[in-house]
Amino acid sequence: MLKRSIHSSAFASRAYETKPYAGVITMFRAKQVPDWKGMDFSDLTNGWGRFVQRVDVEVVDSTHQFMFDEPAVRELATKFKACLHRAQQRQLMRASRISTMGGRISRISNPPPAPTTVRPRSE
């Protein structure tokens, strides 16, 4: 079973075709670069810069193998949380913009609630 899984994973990896992405990605990268024969880690984007508009690189003081172990995982979580917060803020800013065309509102997110009428109680 394990042998078949390894074979399937290798096949999928070879068959995968990377396509351009017009957005921004964030890559979390280990600060401590291994000395693996035949591997080049000089490109901070690990090659993703060729396929995307922009790569934001967050460096974690760890090796690749131990990034999910203490204390590195704490740093990774802090940086991931900040990255997620920035992405959510950008999304809120986009969602709150009002687009107008010819003086008419063409799109509004989070429309204000309909006004309510308060009538005095008759006694």
**Bigger pLDDT: 6 vs 25:** 25
Omega into 71 within 30° of 0, i.e. cis?
Answer: yes
pLDDT 10s digits, 74-114:
999 999 999 999 989 988 888 776 544 444 544 444 444 55
The domain spans of the chain are 20-96
pTM (global) more than 0.75: no
Closest alpha carbon to 108 in 91, 121, 95: 95
- Residue partners of 69: CB distance under 8 A and separation at least 6: 62
Average pLDDT value over all residues in the chain: 81
What per-residue confidence (pLDDT) applies to 4? 82
